[in-house]
Amino acid sequence: MYDHYVSLGANCEPAFQFRRLWGRDVSGYFNWMVTPLPALVEVIAADFGGLFAPGSLEPVHEHTMVRDTRFGVIFHSPFHARLGARFDGPEFEQLHRGFLGKLDHLAAKFRANALSDDRTLYVVKTDIADPRAHAARLRDLLRARYPRHRFDIAVLQTADRSEADWREERLFNRYLRRFAPIDDARDGHLESWDRFFAEFPARPPAAGATDAETAAALEDTARAQIREARYAEAEATLRRAIQLGEGRATTYHQLGIALAGLERHAEAEAAQREAIAISPNNAGFHYRLALALGAQGRHGEKLDALRRAIAINPGNSTILKRFAEALQDAGRDDDAENIRLAAHHVARREAAARVQPAA
């Protein structure tokens, strides 16, 4: 019995069948992409890096989809409704950042699952002529990157390609009577899919609370763990929340705090950058990014991050005090003194605001 099914493409037919089976969607990186098996292997080999870079995009299918020319992966276009085929300008940059943020948190969910103790069946359908070598390379990449990961890969082809069992470790070649038509990925061959699910059963996603509600509850638990300096437990709790795929900026922010508590500052930086990608106008996220950068000795970048935090929220005395300290460390004593005075005045206003009038 598997704990999870994870779709690896090549299109959205597996995700639609998971929806039919469970009665709900379970988010995944490859659910709604067109990802030929060779392209999938290259994306995994790159650990998702470089996908959807601005210079490698071209519109396809009357601009409703976008092809990444480096990897050969096709996405539903996040730009079509507002920009058509135009991939430049401030609006494109904003939409592009938002889409990258979504991809980043789905990649984080993929990694969190691979690092967990759960047993996973990866499901990939393919129509390429000889998928076995590509599937074996995919298996070897996952095994090398996540040596404790408990997983198998089911490679689905149409029945006209049937051959004897590959007898490859962690690989299962199975066959559907037909694939869903390209213009309607929901129209899979149900008998074939039901036979597949019966052979490779998985536990249904947890009933009751939605993924969003569960993720929020896990985040609350992690906050309490962080307050008690139980950072390793908080990290595990937050990675479980990320695995649910809700992409909450605050979850990544709290993960960054937990990782900083464990003195894993490069990872803390990455987590805060994930939070900023989802919600760029939160001063606290930039402040924590500054601390992570400073802990790595990158003091110029730390100053820049603190400036961004102050630009978003100039009325926070803690951020101002930290900025003054950073300026002094950089030998800019006069500037530091001016910021320190500003922080003092802001702190007085904060204290006055906390005083409650008598009833």
Domain that holds residue 275: 207-279
Q: What is the pTM of this model?
A: 0.60
The domain boundary residue, chosen from 160, 178, 199: 199
Q: Residues 73, 32: one domain?
A: yes
Within a domain: 241: yes
Q: Residues 25, 77: one domain?
A: yes
Residue 23 three-state SS: coil
Q: Are the C-beta atoms of 223 and 254 separated by less than 8 Å?
A: yes
Q: Are the C-beta atoms of 122 and 6 separated by less than 8 Å?
A: yes
For residue 31, give the nearest of 1, 76, 65 by alpha carbon: 76
Distance CA(165)–CA(173), nearest Å, equals 6
Domain count, the chain: 2
Q: Are the C-beta atoms of 266 and 296 separated by less than 8 Å?
A: yes
Within a domain: 44: yes
Residue 189 three-state SS: coil
Cross-strand partners of 155: 124, 173
Q: What are phi and psi of 266, to 5 degrees?
A: -65, -40
Per-residue pLDDT of the chain (359 residues; tens, 9 = 90+): 999 999 998 999 999 999 888 887 788 899 989 999 999 999 999 999 999 888 899 888 877 888 999 999 998 877 766 667 777 788 788 878 877 877 887 888 899 889 888 999 999 999 999 999 999 999 999 999 999 999 999 999 999 999 999 999 999 999 999 999 887 878 889 999 999 999 999 988 765 556 676 777 788 888 888 988 989 888 888 888 887 765 688 999 999 999 999 999 999 999 999 898 888 889 999 999 999 999 999 988 989 998 899 888 887 888 888 888 887 777 787 777 777 887 777 777 767 665 544 43
Q: What is the CATH number of the domain that holds 246?
A: 1.25.40.10
Q: Residues 172, 221: one domain?
A: no
Within a domain: 221: yes
Cross-strand partners of 120: 4, 151
The domain boundary residue, chosen from 279, 306, 328: 279
Q: Are the C-beta atoms of 113 and 6 separated by less than 8 Å?
A: yes
Task: Give, in degrees to the nearest 5, the angle at Cα 323 between 320 and 329.
Answer: 145
Distance CA(338)–CA(294), nearest Å, equals 21
Within a domain: 287: no
Within a domain: 78: yes
Residue 248, judged by CB atoms within 10 A of its CB (0-12, 13-18, 19+), counts as: buried
Distance CA(319)–CA(342), nearest Å, equals 11
Number of H helices, E strands in the chain: 14, 7
Name residue 109's amino acid.
K
The domain boundary residue, chosen from 172, 199, 226: 199
For residue 25, give the nearest of 137, 114, 106, 116 by alpha carbon: 106
Q: Tokens 């980043």: give the residue.
A: 104
Within a domain: 354: no
Residue 147, judged by CB atoms within 10 A of its CB (0-12, 13-18, 19+), counts as: exposed
